[in-house]
Amino acid sequence: MDKRVEVLNECRALIDEVDQQLISCLAKRFQLSKAIGSIKRDADVRVHQPDRAKQVEEHYVNLGTSHGIQRNFAVDLFHLIHEESCRIQRVEE
Ligand SMILES: C=C(O[C@@H]1C=C(C(=O)O)C=C[C@H]1O)C(=O)O
């Protein structure tokens, strides 16, 4: 096999592994959102906490830029995750 094709396939296998880790980390984060949602429901606290959300967004930006990830991407990623985190917190069981 062409060496480049071999390397391409190795890189793809590594991407598949990293994606598996990403999804597993996201699932863990959403489990925590669920737990927080139930605490907030009991304590009658609002799901969306703008100050905390801003703080976490900044954390994403700082972590992202320290790893060479664009600020806009880090912000968009956090917004997507935050939206799902809030949706999960609103689901009653
Ligand atoms: C998880 C929380 O609820 C919301 C979701 C957040 C998040 O997913 O990072 C942060 C702040 C809140 O808007 C929280 O209050 O900590």
Of 25, 63, 86, the residue with max ligand 1 atoms within 8 A of its CB, to mutate for a pocket test, comes to 86
Q: What is the pLDDT of residue 92?
A: 83
ipTM, two decimals, is 0.99
Q: How far apart are CA 89 and CA 38, in angstroms?
A: 7
Structural domain including 49 reads: 3-90
CATH, residue 25: 1.20.59.10
Atom of ligand 1 nearest to the CA of 29: 8
Q: Is 85 in the pocket of ligand 1 (CB under 6 A)?
A: yes
Q: Where are the beta strands (DSSP E) in the chain?
A: none
Is 90 exceeded by the pLDDT of residue 22? Answer: yes
Q: Which two tokens stand for residue 20?
A: 């598996």
Nearest to 59 by CA among 83, 80, 78: 78
48 phi/psi in degrees, rounded to 5: -80, 120
The total number of structural domains in the chain stands at: 1
Give pLDDT tens digits for 29-83: 999 999 999 999 999 999 999 999 999 999 999 999 999 999 999 999 999 999 9
Query: 50: which residues sit within 8 A by CB, 6+ positions away?
Result: none
